[in-house]
Structures are given as structure tokens and as C-alpha cells.
Structure 1
Amino acid sequence: MLLPKLAAIYLSLTLSGVRALECSQEIGSDFLSVDAGGGQAFAIRTGDLVYRWCNYRWIPVMGTMKQISVNGSTVYGIHNTWHLYRYLHGSWFLMDESTIQITAKHTNMLYSIGELLGNIFCSLLDKNDPTYSSWKSSFITMSVMACGLHDCWGIDSNGNLRYLITPSTCAVQLSFIKIYGNFVTLDVSDNGVVYAIDSNWKLHRSIGVRTSVTTLEPLLPEKKIRSVSVDGDLLWLVTVEGTIMLCNV
């Protein structure tokens, strides 16, 4: 569900013509990033302040985090000490350290990027112990990683998009799919569509999914976007000015 009233429709150029994205009016200020999944959304503001979207407004959450990954009631955060926390019942519980990024949207699996070498680690979620993790290193390095329900993509050290094979065994394999570019961040929808932001703060969307992706199309070419997160048919965006937009996709 979008914000109460849609104030604008932004046009996005595609390979086949012009596609309209229906987006809300930009709101707020000083936002740095946003992450949404399973009907919940969390955002980080200047000073690593954490907020949760509730009843059409941003509610402050205790504590400070540099990065948030959310999938419904499953919420993780990384502190500026690189310690990993899980958000449970309104509080943050310490799990691990030496983590620079976390993604929790893949089915029953948690992926992280280690602080020292940038290796991807995987841990199966333990329903009986929500703060326990047993990490398995893939020895594959990525600067950024994002997952949908079934698919994961990463950005390598050269800024290229790479499709990651993530079997149910919690292993990670590097596929042959490479999309050249200078990308800085991304997210993946539950149906496998990739949304990526390049170094010029331009937003792109994949044409095709998984190994059929060969190119990307621009979205909102008149906007500069610093953070993207997709949840179902909703696209959450943070502009370089620090405002938040919510679009139907």
C-alpha cells in the first residue's frame, strides 16, 4: 500500500518506449538508506539513527545502526563497530562481529559479508534460537550483496553485477553471468528482478531474471537515488537529498 496520496507520476525511459512509475511525494529529510521486506520497512538517518515505518510515519527505534536488513519480523542490524545484532521484541541482541553487510531475505538463510576480506558467509536460520548463527565461508568476495526470496546478486570489486548461485545447502557459487558497469548498491525482488544504482546515483532495473538477464533499463532518469529496496510490488527509494519515495512497480 502506498502513502495516503500519490502526488506525482514519474516517467522512466525503457528500451521499448516510456514506462510510468507511480510514486509518492518525496517525504522526510536526512535519510541515508532504507530496507523493506515482508511488509515492514526500516530506514537509517544521519547519525545512524534507526526508524521503522508504522501507520504512515517513521517511528524512532532505540539504538544506532549503519545497515539494516528486514524481512517481516526478521530484522538484523550492523553497528558502526561491525557487530551484528538481531532486533527482537523492541530490543537489539548481539550476535556476531566483523560483518560489513547482512541480507536476510533469502528463504531460511542469512548471508553476510565479512569485514576483513569481503568473503560471503552463509548461516541457516535457527527458529529455536533466533540469536544463534553458524557461519560457513564461501571464499567468494563481493563488495555488496542482496537477495530476494530465491535469488542473490552481488557487486564485485570492479563494480560489476554478478549472479550468485545459492543452493539450499547454504553454499554460494559464482555464476558466469556478469553485467558490466560501475554499480554501488542493489536489491533483488522476490521474483528475481534486480534493481541497481550506479556511481552516478542512477537507478536501473534488470530486463529478465536470473541467468536470462543481459541488460538493465533506466528508471527515474531525472532522479538521483542513493538507496533502493523492493518489497513485493513496492519500491522504496532514498534520494541523494535524503528524502524517501515509494513507487509501484
Structure 2
Amino acid sequence: MSLRTVILLISCLLGTNLAMDCREVPGKLKQIDAGLGQVFGVNENDRVYTLYGGSWTQLPGALKHVTVGPSGVWGVNKNNQIYKLVGGGWVQVGGSMKQVDAGGHQFVVGVNMTNNVYCMGRYASVRYRGPGSPAPWNMLPGHLMYYSCGPNGCWGVNSAQDIYMRKWVTPAACEDNTDWQLISGKLAMIEVGTDGSVYGVDAVGDVYRRDGITAANPAGIDWIYESPCTKSKHVSYDAGHLWVITKDNRILDCVV
């Protein structure tokens, strides 16, 4: 355990301000995603919400996972059917996924129930408008249970909670450059912000941030422990705010 980790843990116990500056947001969610100034989430009943004017607005439909990014708003339902938000309504996309991510540079990625990894390039993802639009999913080598992309690369975790990343994934050919780099550490989920920031949650609910990420070194240097002073299960970062879902589905907005 690093000295910084010890200091943060003591800060939480004493209630000092050395830990992250977090405020609880009204409502309960099981999953949240933030990008391009927008925040979306789903609750335990698969109701879909977006944060608008400081309060949650319910959207039509039912999803177990939702994502927002440069290629739009996407989600999957309890039957692993894929949807994209088009003109205020959800249109179904061909394929089957348990988790999708729209944080790449206008391309979409996801994993299915057998942990196969897929991506859809920029041309198809941005222009998808419903049945009749092309929806070519390209399968990548390897297996992951969670996959997320940003401007400098893509990150994922497998069923053993090993962490992998792919550098310099191009939006037009997101299936290319398929060499996976093993990253030290263990995480249960991982999210890449639209600015390239990488955050994750481990099996016990601790939050970590990848330090040292640059365009020249997209894998970064090390994991930095972050403390919202509660155990977490899901995080998403955008525009200086880390959105945290706690183990009991409370929502925290942490300024980082």
C-alpha cells in the first residue's frame, strides 16, 4: 500500500478534504456514463435517465447499460439487444452485446455474452439510423468482459480481471492494430473518458486512475488510488467530473 493510499484512507476516516471532493446527487442508478458534457444512466429497473438542468429526466425504453460519446448514445437491454438513440427514440441495431461503449473517436465497441470483442467503424456507427442502415460489427481477437475506448486507445478487462489496452485505434478501421498490451493490476471494470482519461474499479470497490497517459505514451505509467470515501461499482469521467456509482447505487459527482 502506497503512502498516498494510506493518507487518503486516513482522510476518509477523519473526514478531511484530502480525499476527492464529492457530492451526492439525488437518485439511484446501477450504471452511469458521461461524455461530451452529457450524463446518462440506468437504474435497477432498467429505466433510462439523462441529467438535464441539474435533475434526472427519464427517457423512453428499458436498458441495462447505456453509453454516450462521439458516435452518439447507445445501449443494450436485458436481452442483449443493441439500440442507438436517434431523433429522441431508440432504434435497434443488429447484433447482440452485453456492454457497449461510444467513447471512441466516432466508433463503437462492445462485448457479447461469451466475452467476444467487437467494434463498428466510424462510417457505420455515426450514420446508423435504423433498419436498413449498415451495421458491420468487426470481431477482434481475445476475450474481454468490459471494453471502453478513447482518443488514445482502447482498454478492457477480462474475466480474470486482467487489464489490456490497444494503442492508436483508428476510427475508420477500428479492427486494425489488434495487438493487446497487458497492463499491470487487476480491475473489475474500466472506462475511458473522451479526453483519454482512464478510470477503473477493482473487485472490492476501490477506484483507480491511470497516471501518465499521453498521445506518445497511451498506456500511461501507473495506477493511482482515488478515494470517494465509499466502495464503488461503476465510474465514468468527463470534463473534470468523476461520476461514481456506489455499491448501494448512490450517485456521487466528484471533482477531480
**TM superposition score category, shorter chain reference:** 0.7 to 0.9
Aligned twin of 2:48: 50
- 1:59 & 1:68 partners in 2: Cα distance? 14
Q: CA deviation at 1:135?
A: 1.1
1:14 pairs with one of 4, 7, 10: 4
Aligned twin of 1:6: none
Aligned twin of 2:146: 144
Q: CA deviation at 1:221?
A: 6.0
2:237 pairs with one of 230, 234, 238: 230
Q: 1:216 and 2:223 equivalent?
A: yes
Kindly provide the amino acid, as one letter, of the partner of residue 130 in structure 1: R
- Going from structure 1 to structure 2, the CA distance change for 1:100 and 1:213 (only over 3 Å counts) comes to same
Greater strand proportion: 1
* Aligned-residue RMSD, C-alpha: 2.2
Aligned twin of 1:82: 80
Q: CA deviation at 1:114?
A: 2.2
Whether the aligned pair in 2 keeps the contact of 1:40 and 1:70 (CA below 8 Å) is yes
Aligned ranges 1:172-191 → 2 under 5 Å: 172=176, 173-181=178-186, 183-191=187-195
- 2:232 & 2:5 partners in 1: Cα distance? 21
Kindly provide the amino acid, as one letter, of the partner of residue 163 in structure 1: M
The answer for unaligned runs of 5 or more in structure 2 is 9-17
- 51-60 vs 13-22, which moves further: 13-22
Aligned ranges 1:44-123 → 2 under 5 Å: 44-71=42-69, 74-115=72-113, 117-123=114-120
Greater helix proportion: 2
Q: 1:35 and 2:39 equivalent?
A: no
Aligned twin of 1:155: 157
The answer for unaligned runs of 5 or more in structure 1 is 1-12
1:109-167 deviations in Å (ceiling 9; x for gaps): 1111123x312111113344434311111122111111123321000221011112323
- 51-60 vs 227-236, which moves further: 227-236
Whether the aligned pair in 2 keeps the contact of 1:83 and 1:99 (CA below 8 Å) is yes
- 35-44 vs 14-23, which moves further: 14-23
2:26 aligned counterpart, secondary structure: coil
Whether the aligned pair in 2 keeps the contact of 1:43 and 1:68 (CA below 8 Å) is yes
Aligned twin of 2:170: 167
Aligned pair count? 234
Aligned twin of 1:198: 202
1:164 aligned counterpart, secondary structure: strand
Kindly provide the amino acid, as one letter, of the partner of residue 207 in structure 1: D
Q: CA deviation at 1:245?
A: 1.0
Q: CA deviation at 1:231?
A: 1.1
1:27 aligned counterpart, secondary structure: strand
1:14 aligned counterpart, secondary structure: helix
Q: CA deviation at 1:64?
A: 0.7
Whether the aligned pair in 2 keeps the contact of 1:151 and 1:190 (CA below 8 Å) is no
Whether the aligned pair in 1 keeps the contact of 2:36 and 2:194 (CA below 8 Å) is no
- Going from structure 1 to structure 2, the CA distance change for 1:63 and 1:202 (only over 3 Å counts) comes to same
- 2:143 & 2:97 partners in 1: Cα distance? 13
Whether the aligned pair in 2 keeps the contact of 1:40 and 1:72 (CA below 8 Å) is no
Q: Normalising by structure 1, what TM-score?
A: 0.85
Kindly provide the amino acid, as one letter, of the partner of residue 23 in structure 1: C
